[in-house]
Chains A and B, each alone.
Chain A
C-alpha cells in the first residue's frame, strides 16, 4: 500500500467515526467537537487529493469560524434542556427519518451507479497543479472575474453592515 492510500484510509476512518459520533452523542457540545474533528479529517482527505488550498480553507472557514458560532449558540442556550424535543413531536421525528432515508438512498445510488461519472483518470501532476493557490487565484481573476468581484463587493457590504449594526447597539 502506498503512503497516500495509508493516509487516505487514516483520514477517512477519522471522518467516518467522528461523523457517527456527531449524531450519536447525547451531549451537544461533544457533537460539535466531533463535527470539528470531522472537518479536520475531511481536510486530511482533501490533502491526499492534492487539494491543499481547499484543505486549509476547510479548517479555517468551517472548523475555525462556523463551528465557533455553533458552539457559542450551544453553550449559551444550553440545549440539554431541550432533550425531549422529539418525544413531544412524534410526527416531526418521522419526517426527519424520512428525509434521512431519502438522502441516504440518493447517496447510495450515486455511489453504486455513478462511479463512472467521477473519472479517476485525473493524473496526479494535473491535479497537483489544480490544487495550488496560484492556479485557483488565476482562475478567479480570469474565468470567474465577475462573480468573484460580485462576491467581494457583497462581503465588503456585509462586513460594513455588521460594523454599523454593532455600533448602533453600543451607543
Chain B
C-alpha cells in the first residue's frame, strides 16, 4: 500500500475512535448516574431530554461556560499542562486495542485497530506509567495541601499496583508468545480465554485495573472526607472536565484491556462452526467486543456503588502483600502449564 493510502485510512480510524470514545465517555457519565440512582433507589437524571438522555451535553456546556479559576499559589504552566497530559494518555492508549478482526472494505484490507504495533502491550504500559505524571503534576502545581497529598497518594498507589499488573500481563504474554494485542486475542480462540486458563492472573489484573483508574474501592486520591477533592481540588471549568473525561476514558481503556488480555477480545467461541457468511461473523464479533465492554463497565460502576473505600494502609497491604505474591504465583502457574502442554 502507498504511504498516502495508509495515512488516510489511519486518520479515518483515529477520527472514528476519538469520536466513539468521546460519545461513550459522555454517556458513561450518564449511565454512572443512572446506575448509582438504581443502587440507591433514586430516579437519577431525568429532566434534560427524554429520560435525561441529553444530560451529558448539558453538563459539558455548563463546564465550558464556567469561570476558569487558577489559584494564586499555582504554577500556571504545569497547572494547565496536567489535565492535557491526562487526556493525552487516556486517548492515545486506545490506538493499539483491536475491536475486531481485519475486514475488507471497498477492496481494501482494513484491520479494526488503529495501529497494529508489534509491541502494543509495552506501548500501553509505557503510557500508563506516564499517566502518573498527570496526577502528580496537578497535585503539586495547584499549590494546595489537599491537592499535593492527593497527588502523592495517587502516585504511590499507581506505582504499587503497576507491579502486580505487570506480572499478571507477563503471564498472558508467556501464553500468547507475542506482545501484539491482535496476536494475544488470536491466541485465545475457542474457550481458551485467559480468564479461564489463568484465573489468579485475571483477578490480580482486574484489581490492579481498578487501582490504576482510581476507582472505588481504590479512589483514595480523591477521598472527599479527607482530601476535599484530591488532586483536582483546585481545578475548575474545562480543566476539571479534562480530568473527569480522562477518568472515564481510563475506565473504557481498563475494560478494553481486560477484554483483550483475558476475555478473548472480539472472539466469540465456536462461531466459525455456525457457517455464517464472513461479514455476519465480523459483525457479531465486533458486537461481542462492545457487549463485553458494556458488561465490564457496568461491573466497574456497580462495584463503585456497592463497596466502601479502603484505608490507605489497607490499600498498600493489599497491593504488596496479597496482589504481588498472587501475581507471582500466577506466573509460576503459567510456566508449569506451558511446560505440561509442550
Contact = CB atoms under 8 A, between A and B. Distances in A.
B78 A59 contact: no
A76 B149 CA distance: 10
Interface stretch (A10-18, A102-110, A162-170): A162-170
Contact of B179 (A3, A68, A76, A133): A133
B123 interface: yes
B122 A60 contact: yes
Contacts of A75: 136, 140, 148, 151-152
Interface string B131-163: 011001100110000001001100100010001
Interface in A2-45: 3, 27, 29-30, 33, 36
Given A72-B155, A75-B136, A133-B179, A59 B130 contact: yes
Contacts of B179: 133
| Residue from A27, A52, A76 having most chain B Cβ neighbours under 10 A | A52
A6 to B, nearest CB: 13
B332 interface: no
B129 A60 contact: yes
A56 B148 contact: no
B273 interface: no
A60 B159 contact: no
B119 A52 contact: yes
A132 interface: yes
Chain A, interface SS category: helix
A26 B163 CA distance: 34
A29 B320 contact: no
B155 A68 contact: yes
Contacts of B137: 29, 33
A64 interface: yes
Which 6 pairs from chain A and chain B are nearest by CB?
A: A64-B129, A59-B126, A56-B122, A60-B126, A75-B140, A56-B126
B136 A68 contact: yes
A63 B125 CA distance: 12
Nearest to B166: A60
Contacts of B118: 52, 132-133
A3 B122 CA distance: 24
19 contacts: A29-B75, A30-B75, A30-B77, A30-B78, A33-B133, A33-B137, A56-B122, A56-B123, A56-B125, A60-B126, A64-B128, A65-B129, A71-B136, A72-B152, A75-B152, A133-B118, A163-B320, A166-B320, A170-B316
A45 B99 CA distance: 30
Interface residues of B, number: 33
Contact of B130 (A52, A63, A159): A63
B278 interface: no
Given A68-B129, A72-B155, 10 more contacts: A33-B81, A52-B119, A56-B119, A59-B130, A60-B125, A63-B130, A71-B136, A71-B140, A133-B119, A133-B122
A56 B316 CA distance: 28
B312 to A, nearest CB: 11
Interface in B2-51: 3
A151 B70 CA distance: 48
Contacts of A63: 126, 129-130
A163 B123 contact: no
A64 B78 contact: no
A140 B133 CA distance: 32
B42 to A, nearest CB: 40
A170 B151 CA distance: 22
B67 interface: no
B324 A163 contact: yes
Contacts of B133: 33, 36, 68, 71
A63 to B, nearest CB: 6
A65 B130 CA distance: 9
B59 interface: no
A64 B126 contact: yes
Contacts of A3: 3
B66 interface: no
